[in-house]
Structure 1
Amino acid sequence: MRSTIVRTAVGAAFVASLVTACDSAGTASSGPDLSSSGGTATSSGAPGQLDSDAAQQVGTTIEQALQRAPITFTPEKAELTEQARQTLGEIAKALQGNAVKISVSTHAGYPDDEKAKALSEKRAEAITTALEGLGVTGERVARDATGNEKAQGDQALDTQISVAK
């Protein structure tokens, strides 16, 4: 019940943030502004700086998206919620026009190591498949399906996404 209340509150906060993120024309204005460069991140520095700037912008967008609407799974399931799909949409948009790679860490809290690993892998696959459907190639997504090695209980329902190093 507690996790249902938390998810409901997070969902309401996400909707509220979308409403406030709209400018007067009714379009979303959150995330990095890539419009002036045709959808690619630009920098006046060296080529290495370009990659670093793009990675920093993507990392910031991922952090903000996950704070508004974390990607969580219900116990014993690997299906993405509509809220998770929206968050992945924001992340996919941030990955357009650059070569930044991301890392997805999934967990499952089963005491049985094999069951936990299998469910964790299904969750990572669900996220990768959703991102591929949004235009992010699979080779840009590193999967870290940890099973029950790094998270237990309610923490095992959460997914971490970050810029790959």
Structure 2
Amino acid sequence: MVGAAVVIATVTACGSGDSNGSGGSSSAAAPPGGSGTSSAAGAPSSAGQGAMNGAAGQVNSAIEQALQQSPVTFEPQKADLTDKAKQTLEQIAKAMQGNDVKITVATHAGYPDAQQAKTLSEKRAQAIASALETHGVAKDRVKEDATGSEKAQGDQALNTQISVAQ
């Protein structure tokens, strides 16, 4: 699990181009095949996973690469996908073609009101799932993890984490 967090921090520091408080440095190396998580915000997804192989490893690598190039983020108080986010999701959908790999999409919203944050987070997750479905990914392959304000606050709540499902 610690290795997964180190890889996530490294992936985030290398790819997002913005300051997100992750520190941006790491002295540990990733295990072969990746960590099983990918994060635009530097926060680990629900669980780490050992080395992956096959289709799951390929999809995980594609997710990491796509998010490094262009993280899926939202504007404050909005659930609309930007054109860049749509392109990133299209890349992820292409990687999911021809296999049965499932992914988890974790979204957040930084409202102080927990119910308002949960509602916006759910709308964001649905927007991502719909965009992936537009590109041929069946809805049952995308687990929505709308956390509201439970796991991220402020600017961190604008970022989305996408990972191969456990």
1:160 aligns to what?
161
Aligned residues between the structures: 117
2:150 aligned residue:
149
Per the alignment, residue 81 of structure 1 pairs with: 82
- The percent of aligned pairs where both chains have the same amino acid is 65
CA-based RMSD of the aligned residues comes to: 1.4
Where structure 2 has 5 or more consecutive residues not aligned to the other structure, the ranges are 1-15, 18-51
TM-score between the two structures when normalised by the length of structure 2: 0.69
Residue aligned with 2:106, SS:
strand
Q: Secondary structure at the match of 2:129?
A: helix
Write out per-residue CA displacement over residues 112-149 of structure 1, whole angstroms, 9 at most, x where no aligned residue: 00000000000000000111111000000001000000
- What SS class does the counterpart of residue 76 from structure 1 fall into? coil
Residue equivalent to 2:25: none
- Aligned residue for 1:162, secondary structure, equals strand
Q: Bigger radius of gyration, 1 or 2? A: 1
Aligned to 2:96: 95
Q: Which has the higher helix share?
A: 1
Query: Residue 92 of structure 1 aligns to which amino acid in structure 2?
Result: A
1:40-79 equivalent positions in 2, closer than 5 A:
52-79=53-80
Q: What's the offset of the Cα at 1:104?
A: 0.1
Letter in 2 for 1:53: G
Question: How far is 1:52 from its partner?
Answer: 3.8
